Structure 1
Amino acid sequence: MITLFVNMFINDYFPLFVAAVGLVPLLTGCLCYWWAMRPKLVATFHPRDLQTSYLGALTLPFALFLAFMVSDIWNRETRYAQTVLQEVQRLDAMLDIAKVCGPTCAPVDDAVGVYARALSKYEWDEGWVYPDTQVSRSFDGVVAAVAAAEADTTVAAHMRSALLNGQIELRRLRTDRYFILHADLAPHRWIVVLLLGVLSQIGLAALHVGKKPQLVLGLATFSVAFSVTLAYTIALAWPTVDESIIPSEELRRILE
């Protein structure tokens, strides 16, 4: 159910999805404030009985887990960018081969261009989750064009081999990109982050039961920091290609 809900929103409403996730810590912070200011709790609960280390024992696992998670996401974003760069280079190389091959390989040139534009529009963008059907159809066009060139005996053997190897490499890189995106995107990680964050809010509220100024300041600053960090982490979880890392001339050539 969680996966279905996420997939429904990140395709067309990704910024709204990120904002909605970022609102969760703010809502739980408000709930903790309401709980800590209830008259019955203020009358019976004495925060002075708690040690300040109590809050640290809650926030330390939260901070460490989130730090390791963000580190994994940053490393994955680097691998994703490298894979996209390799795709661009392979597409560019296949265009070169098709042009050297001459008019016989013109269908390959056209098919590779269509595939490159489909990748740029549907799968190199932020929010991509599963292989897009339009990209898959355009790749089928590349396969058909390469197969036709393979069957044409007027095309030199080394050209046919290079085109076939390029097609195989493009399929592998697309699969690698899918794997990189999903390898560390387990839903239970986000549940653990939210649970540890909410426990930290509860601990912060418990230390300031009935103390409105301290409670507002503590919960507000922590909840805002929690919200911004969580939203930023969610935004990073679905990487997008950074066109600044790809030579503009090379990118323009495969997309035009």
Structure 2
Amino acid sequence: MNWMQLIVGEYWVLVGLFALVPLLTGALVYWVAVLPRFVRWFEPKDLATSYLGALTLPFALFLAFMMSDIWQRETKFALTVLQEVQRLDSLLDVARICGAPCQAVDDAVGAYARSLSQNEWDEGWTHPQAAVSARFETLVAAITEVERRADVAGHLRAAMLTGQGELRRLRTDRYFILHVDLAPHRWAVVLLLGVLSQIGLAALHVGKRPQLIIGLATFSIAFAVTLAYTVALAWPTVDENIIPREELTRVLAP
């Protein structure tokens, strides 16, 4: 079991844990900043206010670029699902033009589409699901059987083979899109830059309890909300409203 499977297994627990980290680090930084020994030793007036900006700017820029990558991946994921629906719809057209000899293909396309919708088009999957793979193999077997039939026109057989290859490719594309940008070190960098920003904020208000509480509390809450939202977006999911209802209903119909 890899790290992504462990994460997705408790998806919303993970989001909550990420949101909790900035609050805990903020509390720790506050505790250090009000220690009498630290207050006597540290002189915040020696720091320029630009010091805080030098810390928070890299944090804000890195998080913004990371969020942009996640949004772009969400769009690519949704586009790939739309292409899958279109390919499934065209396969149904071919099977129904073919008629009775291709009834098994018609049934297999519908079963594969429903399995995709239930297991892989929603958020949280990290690898090709066995149930979906089994349905795809059933579809392949049905198309292979049609290939052996002399009473099916050659152009229909060719269209089915092309559709089968496209469906396999699109499923692989979805897997690639999901995994390509989810490197663990990105999250570590975001956390590190955020904690450094908290330290910088506290350094400017050492010994000033009201200012320290307000500054650290507002930044830590904003940090927690932003981080949790970013984690929640990290696993693409498809809003089926973006797919033409007629096509979606047709490919998912029992």
Task: Give the whole-Å Cα distance in 1 for the aligned partners of 2:173 and 2:238.
Answer: 14
Task: Give the whole-Å Cα distance in 1 for the aligned partners of 2:142 and 2:109.
Answer: 9
> Which of 2, 9, 14 in structure 1 is aligned with 2:11?
14
Distance apart, 1:222 and its partner CA: 0.7
- Look up the match of 2:167: 170
Where do 1:129-168 residues align within 5 Å? 129-168=126-165
Distance apart, 1:119 and its partner CA: 0.7
Task: Give the whole-Å Cα distance in 2 for the aligned partners of 1:94 and 1:238.
Answer: 29
Distance apart, 1:84 and its partner CA: 0.5
Where do 1:177-216 residues align within 5 Å? 177-216=174-213
1:75-102: CA deviation from partner (whole Å, max 9, x where unpaired): 1111111101000000111111111111
Task: Give the whole-Å Cα distance in 2 for the aligned partners of 1:49 and 1:204.
Answer: 14
Using the size of structure 1 for normalisation, the TM-score is 0.96
Task: Give the whole-Å Cα distance in 2 for the aligned partners of 1:202 and 1:113.
Answer: 56
Q: Which runs of 5+ in 1 are unaligned?
A: none
Distance apart, 1:179 and its partner CA: 0.8
Q: Secondary structure at the match of 2:207?
A: coil
Residue identity opposite 2:183 in structure 1: A
Distance apart, 1:202 and its partner CA: 0.8
Query: After the TM superposition, which segments of 4 or more aligned residues of structure 1 sit over 4 Å from their partners?
Result: none
Task: Give the whole-Å Cα distance in 1 for the aligned partners of 2:164 and 2:191.
Answer: 43
1:39-65: CA deviation from partner (whole Å, max 9, x where unpaired): 211111111111111111100000111
Residue identity opposite 2:8 in structure 1: I
Task: Give the whole-Å Cα distance in 1 for the aligned partners of 2:214 and 2:128.
Answer: 46
1:185-233: CA deviation from partner (whole Å, max 9, x where unpaired): 1111111111101110111111111211111111111111111111111
- Look up the match of 1:41: 38
- Look up the match of 2:86: 89
Q: Percent same amino acid among aligned pairs?
A: 67
Task: Give the whole-Å Cα distance in 1 for the aligned partners of 2:236 and 2:208.
Answer: 42
Task: Give the whole-Å Cα distance in 1 for the aligned partners of 2:31 and 2:127.
Answer: 41
Q: Secondary structure at the match of 1:241?
A: coil
Q: Which runs of 5+ in 2 are unaligned?
A: none
- Look up the match of 1:60: 57
Does 1:72 find its partner at 2:69? Answer: yes
